[in-house]
Amino acid sequence: MPTFAYTAVTSAGSSTTGQIDADDRGAAMQLIEARGLVPVELTSSTAKPKRQRGAGLMFRNRVTPPQVLAFVRQLGNLLAAGVPLARAMQILCRETSSPAASAQWSAVRDAVVDGTPLADALAQFPKSFPPVYVAMVRAGETGGFLDVVLKQIADFMSRERELKSKVGTALIYPLALAFIATGVVIFLLSWFIPRFSSIFEDFGQSLPLLTRIIQGASFAVLHYGPFVGIGVFVLVVACVQMLKTPAGRRRRDELMLRIPGIGTASARFALVRFCRMLGTLVGAGVPLIASLKVAREAVGNQTLSDALGLAIDNVQEGTSLAKSLGMCPQLFPPSVVEMVAVAEESGRLSEELVRMAGEFEEDLDRRLRVLVSLAEPALLFVMASVVGTIVVGMLLPVFDLWDAIQ
């Protein structure tokens, strides 16, 4: 049985240290609390370092977003009910049915028991807790309203999942059409055209330019297809690596905003996230400047985030929020700036921001439906044009031969 050294606070407020034998950290905490003490730090000579524990979790099953959402919501409910943070974490570790989630929650709990702030403990797992959520937790810990912030994070995560699900559902059919079109073209180039090419060799006359171009594409697919595939794979990997850099993300975001239709939808998606996050934080009592900095991280577009940075600097210098946001017209239309100005004057900024987020989310849903309805016939037109061009190009020599025979 391992021995744990602890530092605790007595009911009189004085600090005390000691050692206790227990099967695990949870049992040690229960024994310490049974003595009327509040554990502050708990260490064991047989315990693994926190760095190793966190690294070991990387090789376990991934904690899913629904599990993270349930953890955040339940932790907020327990804290609101007056349960101490360490005890609440222990309850969640015991109640979860996922080994990966249990291991991760245990690592967070151990860090909290050892005196680490909850925000820093959650920051050890960025895949489960992005920086924007960590910043919200840190603000809640500093302001003394951690339970409120956790509930707000849970609500925000739930709405984000719903919105992303709508976007993903809208993209399924266009992506399926693009995949089918690619497969049809590859089939024509690798099977259909080579059979016509063998017939054209017997004509003994020059082929039209379009036919020669199509035959060249077919030859490249048949003889250099694997190399082309490897080249495409390398190009995709290079692009993915480039997008991981700040410059690459900024360039991608700039291009996204310039695409007609898609750029407007991207800006509206960023606006929904910003308004909901800012309204959530201000409503929870977080100071405006701190709320703006956290909400800026939730935008998800580097170009718009840079513009928001300038607006935040103006707010710090004493400019009103509405006037500062008006300096970023690509993200905040004049109607939004006007509503924010009225909300500032009436003292209902948080309620108005959350309301606007709901309205803009409905507008974004309508825009997505319009884009999908336009993308479907556009993809069908492109697919028909490509297939039709290939067919016409292979039939042109037949027409020429027929004219020569006549």
Q: What confidence tier does 361 reach under pLDDT thresholds 50, 70, 90? A: confident
Does residue 202 surpass a pLDDT of 70? no
Does residue 58 surpass a pLDDT of 50? no
Q: Where are the domains of the chain?
A: 1-47, 156-406
CATH class of this structure's domain 156-406? mainly alpha
Does residue 7 surpass a pLDDT of 80? no
Token pair recorded at residue 405 = 């025979």
Q: What confidence tier does 1 reach under pLDDT thresholds 50, 70, 90? A: low
For 28-32, 131-135, 198-202, 239-243, which range has the lowest pLDDT when averaged over its residues? 198-202
Does residue 234 surpass a pLDDT of 90? yes
Does residue 57 surpass a pLDDT of 50? no
User: Could you tell me the strand order of the sheet in which 3-9 lies?
Assistant: 15-21, 3-9, 38-44
Residue found by looking up tokens 């690798």 in the block:
190
Q: Which residues contact 85 (CB under 8 A, 6 or more apart)?
A: 79, 112, 118, 146
**pLDDT tens by residue, 137-190:** 887 787 777 888 888 788 878 877 877 787 777 778 778 888 888 888 888 888
What is the model's pTM? 0.61
Does residue 247 surpass a pLDDT of 90? no
For 332, list phi and psi in degrees, rounded to 5: -115, 100
What is each CA distance from 104 to 59, 86, 88, 101, in whole angstroms? 12, 14, 15, 5
Does residue 375 surpass a pLDDT of 90? no
- Residue 325 and residue 265 in contact, taking contact as beta carbons nearer than 8 Å: no
pLDDT of residue 184: 84
**Which residues are registered as beta bridge partners of 43?**
5
**What end-to-end distance do the CA atoms of the chain give, in Å?**
101
Token pair recorded at residue 175 = 């992506």
- Residue 270 and residue 357 in contact, taking contact as beta carbons nearer than 8 Å: no
For the chain, the average pLDDT equals: 80
**199-207: average pLDDT:** 69
Return the higher-pLDDT residue of 42 and 287. Answer: 287
Does residue 53 surpass a pLDDT of 60? no
**pLDDT tens by residue, 70-93:** 899 999 898 888 888 888 888 888
**245-257: average pLDDT:** 82
